[in-house]
Amino acid sequence: MSDVETLVDRWLSLPEVAELLEVPATRARQLVAERQILAVRRGENNALMVPAEFVQAGRVLKGLQGTLTLLLDARFSDEDAMTWLFTADDTLPGSPVDALVANRGTEVKRRAQALGF
């Protein structure tokens, strides 16, 4: 089991993401392809799954796309980026994704940007 598997409590399938965002399933897959959200393959059928925190109130989590861009620019793999987002940081407090959910994206982006240097 990967770090991501142990860090993320709840997962959504792409059809569930599409339903919550009220978009076609093809659009949910496109969001992953465009790296607006991240997904990992899980389960017996190796389906793409998205952490539930990435969808809030019928929208993609505010600040997620910009944070992902910074992490990917810092040469993080998708799995490393997801691990960073869900790993607790005592100085935030909580994890970066918790801070994004709490609308504290500026601090998360500042930390993500510093990883590139």
CA separation for the pair 65, 79 (Å, rounded): 15
- Put simply, whether the predicted model's pTM sits higher than 0.95 gets the answer no
* Confidence (pLDDT) at 16: 97
Q: What is the pLDDT of residues 48-107, one digit of tens each?
A: 999 999 999 999 999 999 999 999 999 999 889 999 999 998 888 899 999 999 999 999
CATH topology of domain 3-114: Multidrug-efflux Transporter Regulator; Chain: A; Domain 2 (1.10.1660)
Furthest-apart CA atoms within the chain: distance in Å: 39
Q: Where are the domains of the chain?
A: 3-114
DSSP element (H, E) containing 13: strand 11-13
